[in-house]
Amino acid sequence: MFAPRWGWGLGSLQLGQLQVWAAEAAGRWACRACQTRLYGSGPDERWPGSDPEVSGFGPAGRTLKEWALLSQKLHVQTRGGKVICLGTVYGNIDICASDKSTVTVDKLQGSSVNISTEDGLLKAKYLYTESSFLSSAAGDITLGSVHGNITLQSKMGNITVDSSSGCLKASTHQGALDVYVSQLGKVELKSHKGSILVKVTSSLQAHLQLSGKEVDVNSEVHVQEMAEAHKDDGIIITGLMNQANKHEKWIKADAPKGTVSFRSQSWFQSLKLQD
């Protein structure tokens, strides 16, 4: 299944598909769109500017609704169900999924993206945004390729980013961080009680500040002007990769109760292709 796209000249009409599954206890899900038309697959095919509701679910009667959306702003709320965005969804996106609701996204593209879950997985393959804020209380955050200014927060879950291009700020209280940096703006990573794994391309220019109970810099990574300092029960390592400017591009990783591991990884390896 896919999200169709149509365009006319320089001004294009962009449509994406949204599928929502909601359990009986979920109550309702809301899709409010500013300057948006919703094209449904049911008998009534148009509800311009409406707030459709899905109800009457059960183990024997699960209902699936598909919507094609032309949107400048999309707001979705669900409790106990699933939010799945197939293909590409364009516009400013706001998704709030409570309880054990999960959010799965193929591709989001817009100026602003805000997604939050409580105890469910938050997963996105591609994010192309000027500004994104993704958070989860206890669920994991798993991202593929992200571009722009991205902020990620989780209290109990793990955070994984397969490829980051731009500015990235990620923090978790008890979980672990696993991040691959392909192109760098500013990267700030913190795990209060977990560990951090940072992977970079060998040609990346970056100023490094790595601090943790233990810090492991792989010998394949060539760091100039490396310095080591001890503070409290931890260690701080600083240095430069490929003559980077200290004030323009930097990676800061802090795991006061865990280990910060820093190693080189090629772009091809980041694709995680199976043999």
What pLDDT is attached to residue 232?
83
- Domain assignment present for 81: yes
In which domain, by residue range, is 102 found? Answer: 67-157
What pLDDT is attached to residue 116?
96
Please name which of 132, 90, 138 lies closest in space to residue 118, comparing C-alpha atoms: 138
Residue 268 has a CB neighbour count (10 Å cut-off) of 8
What pLDDT is attached to residue 267?
60
Cα(200)–Cα(205) distance, integer angstroms? 10
- Domain assignment present for 136: yes
Cα(193)–Cα(72) distance, integer angstroms? 39
Tell me which residues of the chain have a pLDDT lower than 70.
1-71, 245-247, 267-275
**CB 17, CB 2: distance < 8 Å:** yes
What pLDDT is attached to residue 183?
83
Same domain? 73 vs 145: yes
Give the predicted TM-score (pTM) of the model.
Answer: 0.76
Q: How many domains does the chain have?
A: 2
- Measured over the CA atoms of residue 245, residue 128, residue 154 and residue 265, the dihedral's sign is negative
What pLDDT is attached to residue 269?
60
What pLDDT is attached to residue 188?
97
- Domain assignment present for 227: yes
What pLDDT is attached to residue 71?
56
| Residue 53 backbone dihedrals phi, psi, to 5 degrees | -125, 150
What pLDDT is attached to residue 246?
63
- Domain assignment present for 17: no
Residue 67 pairs in a beta bridge with 18, 40
Same domain? 93 vs 135: yes
What pLDDT is attached to residue 57?
37
What pLDDT is attached to residue 45?
38
What pLDDT is attached to residue 182?
87
- Domain assignment present for 121: yes
What pLDDT is attached to residue 58?
36
- Domain assignment present for 132: yes
What pLDDT is attached to residue 239?
92
- Domain assignment present for 229: yes
Same domain? 152 vs 211: no
Same domain? 140 vs 195: no
Same domain? 196 vs 257: yes
